[in-house]
Structure 1
Amino acid sequence: MSEKKGEFAHALLAWYERNKRDLPWRRRQHDPYAVWVSEIMLQQTTVAAVIPFYDRWMARFPTVEVLAHAPLDDVLKHWAGLGYYARARNLHRGAQEVMAKYGGRVPSDPAQLLALPGIGRYTAGAILSIAFNQEAPILDANVIRVLSRVYAVTGDPKTSAATQAELWRLAEEAIPGGRAGDFNQAMMELGALVCTAAAPRCSSCPVESLCAAKALGEPTAYPQFQGVKTWLDVEDVSIVIRDGQRRVLLAQRPPEASLWGGLWELPRATRQEGETLPQCAARAACEAVGLAVGPVTPFGSIKHVVANRRITLHGFTADAPPDAAPVAVGCARFVWEPPDSLKHYALATPQVRLLEKLAQEAVQGRLDFG
């Protein structure tokens, strides 16, 4: 492999120098905190989507210390819209640990990095190689695709431990001495821009002549993913509860909740078998804050995809009883806020879209709200 390794690294690095994108985190690539933030944001999220969130995040939390001392609500507010909110909570906890254990300096020791919340082998490898130029391998979706094709690696990287081990070995052995950070970024860049999943641009690839999958005439056959995504269709209902002062009730999900933990929402429930949507809306109010609301009125629905869930979120409105005394039953806490203040809270994307739907209905005169 050594001869191919040398050719591969040389061609890839030369291509990278000519074609690398000017991304905001690359302007701070020797800052391990900036690399950490960008790599966490880029997990399961496109570069185009991440850039504005990264810029806002770094403006608000420019250092580990600032992030560590920030309230979790503020952290989640700046993450709202990126999804997979455990990433934000882990970043926050990780920053607090770095302050407590390492005086605010992100550690360059692999074991110490891997012990931080939310940092696995890939993220640790990115930080170690890009920020500290250590010869640590990385293996994200782009790198898996590049290596699987260049070396015609067999087996499903998602399910086969042997395939994963082989890819990690190749990723480590391919790193040229002294340029680990550039090389790892070059592999990611090649996968993102040229060696794409559905339509690889082989004629523009700097390592086309070295690619085993290309030589076999079937580059898109690699990686050899076997499984087909199984979708779970879900119907959720959120209820807009309004009090006598025309304020709206927002409930905060428990921080430990697996989905949207720590975020704020209109009380929400998943429709059960045999349950009508109005019944589900009333149950959402009862389960969240112990309120028995009066008649509920539908105002629309939106569709949203989270991981393997295809969610239809239905919206209803209801007035709180005059003697309402809500209690945080199924939520961490709740607040009453005027409608125009809801935007100041960390809301998951489907909640934001449902509130936009509500506002549209009110503006068009189909609903008395405001």
Structure 2
Amino acid sequence: MDSDSESDPRACHLPSCRQPESKKRCTGCHEVLYCDAKCQKADWPTHKLDCVITTAHHLTHAVYRDLLPQDQQTLSDYGFTKALTAENQSKLFGLYVGLIKFHDIKPHILHEWRIDGTLVRHIKEMYEAIPEGSRGGCYPWFLENQYVLDSSLKPPSPEDYIDTHQRRAWTFIGGSETDTGERIIAQVKTWPENKARCYELYGLLLARWHPSPEHDLWLPFGFCVTSEVSEMRLGGLYMDLIRKCTFEEFHTAFEESKLIALMDSKGFRQERLGFRDLESVLKTSPHRHFSVWTLKQLVYSEERGPGRTRFVFVDYGFMNCADEMERADLKRVYKEYFETWSLGEPLKLHEACIKGKIYEHVSGVVKRLKKDVNKYKRLMKNMYPLSDL
């Protein structure tokens, strides 16, 4: 168990120690103190039987691993079991990322708030202290969905989750108009992940919407290759496609990385050729993709921080940043690169990445980098090229 340095007049907890002053506090229970790490280590075989590890510790561990908690009690304690959709669970997780990573709320504090029934109030206080334009999308979502943590509020029924567009998608793929929202949700939960993704895309398309960078469908269906203007046009191509194929054909092609072949077989070859790099993405999606596309998603999304994805963190230099200011600056540089569409080509950036030549390539597009060569060479350094490439 790690320790925090903290002065305290009480003596070391280890019975054999006679030090008059303790300086280390157990970060598990935050109750027991030691004079130094040596005494703490010696006492751990005994203390671990009494050390309190709460669900807040499990949540904090999950946040730093960038994975939803797996412990069922943690999911229950912190509202995930009431957030019935994957999107809502992701929003709730993002809310905790803000508290734990960026506001440095410790597990014992989070635990105390939950036990005291003040978790909702403290979440609001923390986020309301941030300028409105810098709060991200998770907090506004929380304000509309406080029932996940406030048991006095009535949660939505399954019918509320199945809106008009989702029900339209259900009947579009052959489902019965008389199926209840509860039955639809239960059925979709039994499907493999990629089949459920296709159903979710159908719901968006039939609502005349398309995935945004914050959405988990933005990358696997190739919207990452578009500009903000051409996203709608790609959505139109998909809408034309689903009208000419069955749902079974569509999700099978997606699972087998054959959406390009399906487009061509239905007469849409010329249309899909109008999207540069679409074939490159879809020929391996949903099972594999270059990290450059995840980089693009991160820098265009308000809710995803650079480095939240391990490969991007390593490949594109975020691991070299000394603080949040440098990470934000590097994010801006890459966004400028992607927005210079005539010169900023993602696959060329990918090639530069695996050659260990990111700065040399990006500085040819984002000219301001040459005003501080040493800084950006340091930030854009990665482990490539690998000796076996």
| TM-score, scaled relative to structure 2 | 0.26
- Higher relative contact order at CA 8 Å, sep ≥6: structure 1 or structure 2? 1
**Which one has a larger percent helix, Structure 1 or Structure 2?**
2
Q: Compute the TM-score of the two structures, normalised by the length of structure 1.
A: 0.27
Higher strand share: 1
